[in-house]
Structure 1
Amino acid sequence: MAKKKTDEKKRTRGVKLPDFKSRQAILLATRNAKMARSAHAYVRGNTTQFYEWLDASDNKALPEGPAIWICGDCHTGNLGPVADAQGRVEVQIRDLDQTVIGNPAHDLIRLGLSLATAARGSDLPGLTTVHMMEALADGYECAFDKAAKGKHLDLGEKPETVRVVMKEAVRRSWKHLAVERLEDTRPTIPLGKRFWPLTKDEAAQISSLFEKGAISQLATSLRGRSDSGQVTVLDAAYWVKGCSSLGRLRYAVLLDVDGGVVEGDDLCLVDIKEGIKAAAPRYSGASMPRDNAERVLEGARHLSPFLGERMRADRLQDRSVVIRELLPQDIKLEVEQISQAEAMDVARYLAQIVGKAHARQMDHGSRRAWLKELRRNRSKTIDAPPWLWNSIVELVSSHEAGYLEHCRRYALAGM
C-alpha cells in the first residue's frame, strides 16, 4: 500500500488534482482565462458569438452557396498539417466539431474574421487587413477556378509560417509527440495540470471501449501495424485541452498494440472527445447523421480525408464521442502574430486549403455557378466581395467589444 501511494505521488509530481465534482468549475475558469489572453484567442474560443451575429444579421446579403459539408468553425487554429495512415502529410482542416451541411460562405467569413483579428493583434495597419481580405477572396476563388477547369490546384510556394510548421511536422516522431503531449516518453500519462485522474467508472468504460474490434482496429490500421495485434490500454486520463471544448468529455488514452511496449510503432496516443450539437446552422432539408460524433466523422471524410480515415464514432458515459489516434505530424498553425510581409500570402494560402476542401464536394456545374456568384457585384474600391468585407468589419467590431466585456467579467470574477 505504501509503495502504491509513493508511485501515485511520483506520477502526480506532488500536484493536488481536482476530484470529479470540481472538474466543471475549474474547466470553465480555465476556458475564461484562455479567452482573456487576446482578442484572437477570444474569437477562436467563441464560436457561438459568430453564429449569434449571423442569426441577427441580414442573411439576404450573403450568397447561398451549394449545400456541402463545411467546417463550421474555420479559424486559423483549426487548419494545419495532418498525416494519413500511410504517413503522407498535407495542410487540411483539422477540427470538425462544428461541421454541418451548410453554406460555404460561412467558412470564408469565419476564416476572414480570424485573420483580421490576428492582423490587429500583430499591430498591422488597417490597409493590410483590406489587402488580406482581397487575398483571401482571390485564394478561395483560385481553388474553384482550377477545379471548374478540371485542373490540379497547385498551392504554390508556402508562406514562411506554413513552411516552418510543415518542415517540423514531417520530421517529427513518436518521441516528439510524447514529450509534447505527455511531457515524457515513458508509457504512462503524467497527472498534473493537463491530465487529471479518472473515476473507476470512466476507467472501466474506456477499457471496454477498446475491446471493440472496430475501435481497436483504429490503432492497428496505422503505420503498417498488424490487424491481429493485441491492443492494450496502458493508461488513461481526463485531458484538459482546447478552449471552446473545455467542459466536454475529453480523454487521453495510451495504447500498446502488441504487448512489446516499444517506443514508436507499438505505442499510440488516442484522443477521445465528446461530440456536441453544432452551433453552425445547417441547410434546411440537408440529410446528416443524427448522432453528433457520426456527424463529425462524416464531415471529416468529406473535408479532410487524411483525418477522416483515422477517426471512429462511439459512445462513452452515455454520450457521443469521436475517437482518433494522434500522430506526431498533426500540428495546428499558430497565427497569433503575423508579419506584414507575409500577411497576404498566409491569407491566400489558407483560403486555397478551404476552397479545395469545398470544391472537391461539388460537381462541375456547381463549381462554376458558385465561382460566378463569388465574383458578382465586385466593388471598385476593394477586390473582395462586398458581403465578405462588410461581414468582417461588423464582426471585428462586435468581437472587440465582446472581448473587452469578457475581460471585465473575468477580472471581476477573480476579485
Structure 2
Amino acid sequence: MKHERIVGADPAGRSAALTARRNLKMAESAHAYVRGSTVRFYDWLEQAGRTSLPEGPGIWICGDCHVGNLGPIGGPDGALAVQIRDLDQTVIGNPAHDLLRLGLSLAMAARGSDLPGVTTARMLESMVAGYEVCFEPSDPDARDLVRPPDTVKRLLRDAARRSWKHLADERIEGVDPVIPLGRRFWPLRDEEREAMEDLVASEELRALVATLRSQDGDEAVALVDSAFWRKGCSSLGNLRFAVLVSVRSPGEKRLRYSLLDVKEAITAAAPRYADAAMPRDNAVRVVEGACHLSPNLGQRMLATRLLGKGVFVRELLPQDLKLEVERLDQEEASEMASYLAMVVGRAHSRQMSATERKAWLSELQRNRSRSLDAPSWLWRAVVDLVASHEAAYLEHCRRYALQPTLA
C-alpha cells in the first residue's frame, strides 16, 4: 500500500501504475481475464472463417454483457431491479453479440468452478430458454417469466436493506465527509480539481442530484471532496473520479451527502450496425444506451464534458450491487444462466416491435441439433471462444503475473 500511495501521489506515474494494476487484475482468474478483454472478444469475431452469427434487429445492446455487468440497480423512484450495470460499450448493433458474450462469461465461470463440461452445455440451453421467453407473444415485459435463483434473491434482499451508511462504508471507508487518499483514491491535479469544481457548480449536475431527491429539485449542491478513482478493469487508464457532494434541502439545516462516479467515455469496441444513427459524442451514446437498456440507471446519468473529454456522471445508490459469481454448483449454474439471460432478453425485447420479436425468436430457434437445445452457432462460438481465451489467459499470466504485486 505504501508503494502505491507514492505512485498515486505523483500524477505523472498514474498511467504506468494503472496499466500494471489492470494486467495483474486480469491475471487473477480466467473469468477476470474475460471481463477485461472486450477488445479481444470482438477481434475474434472479426477473424475470417469463424462461426457466422445471426443478425438480429438493430437495437441498443450492452456490448460487454458478462456476468459482472449485471446486478441490482436502484431507480430514482425507489424501484429496485436487476439490470445491466455497465454500458461503456453500448451501441446499436446485433443482439447476438450480447447473447454470445454472456454465454462465454458463464462458460468461463463454470470452468472456474470445476464443473464438468456437460454443465456448460446445460447452461447454454438454460440461457437460451430464459432469453427466448422474453420474445414470446404473450407478455415480453412480465416480471415473473423466470424466477431468480437463491443467490440473486439474497442479493436483492441485501440491496433493499442498504442505506447511505452501507454505501459510504463500502466506497469511502466511513461516513465522514472525506474521500480517503490511498490505495483506491489518488490526489487530483490542479486542473482536475478546478474542472471538478466547475462541474459541481453547473446547473445540469445540480439538477441531476436534486431531482433524485424531490419533485421540486430545489436542493443546493456543493462539492465536499473529490479524488482520482482507481476502479474497474477494462476502464483502468482512463479518467475516473469519485466526487462527494453535499445536498441541502430548502429550510433544512442538516446536510445529506451523495457520491458521484465520473467516468470517461471512450470509443466502443463493440461493432455498431453501419446504418445505425447514434450520437457522435461517446458520453451521450452511453447515456442514451443506458436509458434504453437499463432505465433505472439511465435516468440517473448525465453526459457532459470535462477537461476536453466526454464523461458521464451517475450518482451511486446504496442499492447498486454487482453480481459476484465465484463458485457455482451444477443446479445453480443452470438457474443463473436462465435468469441472467432473461434480464438481457427483457432489455432487448422492450426495444423491438412485435414483428421484430417474432422474427428474432424464429431466427434463434433455427438450426437446433437433436442433442443440444441451443443454436448450433452459439455452441460452436462459445467452444471456440473458451479455447481462445484460456490460451490467451495463460499467456497473459506468463507475461504479467510474475510482476511485483501492488496492494
TM-score scaled to structure 1, two decimals? 0.93
2:262 corresponding residue in structure 1: 272
2:126 corresponding residue in structure 1: 135
Judge conservation of contact 1:235–1:254 (CA < 8 Å) in 2. Answer: yes
Tell me by how many angstroms 1:157 deviates: 2.5
Judge conservation of contact 1:62–1:105 (CA < 8 Å) in 2. Answer: yes
Which of 213, 217, 233 in structure 2 is aligned with 1:227? 217
**Cα separation, 1, equivalents of 2:246 and 2:216:** 12
Which of 16, 19, 25 in structure 2 is aligned with 1:34? 25
**Cα separation, 1, equivalents of 2:333 and 2:181:** 39
Tell me by how many angstroms 1:151 deviates: 5.4
Task: Tell me whether 1:112 sits opposite 2:107 in the alignment.
Answer: no
Query: How many residues matched?
Result: 399
1:165 corresponding residue in structure 2: 155
**Structure 1 moving runs of 4+ over 2 Å:** 14-18, 57-61, 148-153, 223-226, 259-263, 411-415
Judge conservation of contact 1:78–1:93 (CA < 8 Å) in 2. Answer: yes
Tell me by how many angstroms 1:414 deviates: 4.6
Which of 256, 279, 290 in structure 2 is aligned with 1:300? 290
Deviations 1:335-391 (A, max 9, x none): 122122211000000000000000000001000000000001211110000000001
Matched position secondary structure for 1:91: strand
**Cα separation, 1, equivalents of 2:299 and 2:326:** 30
Judge conservation of contact 1:261–1:267 (CA < 8 Å) in 2. Answer: no
Which of 370, 374, 377 in structure 2 is aligned with 1:380? 370
Deviations 1:229-272 (A, max 9, x none): 11100000000100000000000000001187857xx2100000
**Cα separation, 2, equivalents of 1:288 and 1:38:** 35
Ranges in structure 2 where 5+ consecutive residues have no aligned partner: none
**Cα separation, 1, equivalents of 2:188 and 2:396:** 31
1:9 corresponding residue in structure 2: none
Query: What is the one-letter code of the residue matched to 1:334?
Result: E
Ranges in structure 1 where 5+ consecutive residues have no aligned partner: 1-11
Query: What is the one-letter code of the residue matched to 1:182?
Result: I
**Cα separation, 2, equivalents of 1:69 and 1:366:** 14
**Cα separation, 1, equivalents of 2:5 and 2:15:** 18
Tell me by how many angstroms 1:332 deviates: 0.7
**Cα separation, 1, equivalents of 2:363 and 2:326:** 32
**Cα separation, 2, equivalents of 1:152 and 1:234:** 41
2:185 corresponding residue in structure 1: 195
Task: Tell me whether 1:250 sits opposite 2:250 in the alignment.
Answer: no
Alignment of 1:15-414 (within 5 A): 15-16=5-6, 17-58=8-49, 61-145=52-136, 148-150=137-139, 152-153=141-142, 154-224=144-214, 226-258=216-248, 262=254, 266-411=256-401, 413-414=403-404
**Cα separation, 2, equivalents of 1:73 and 1:58:** 23
Tell me by how many angstroms 1:47 deviates: 0.3
Tell me by how many angstroms 1:211 deviates: 1.5
Judge conservation of contact 1:293–1:313 (CA < 8 Å) in 2. Answer: yes
Query: What is the one-letter code of the residue matched to 2:268?
Result: A
Matched position secondary structure for 1:223: coil
Aligned CA RMSD, in angstroms, stands at 1.7
**Cα separation, 1, equivalents of 2:403 and 2:39:** 21
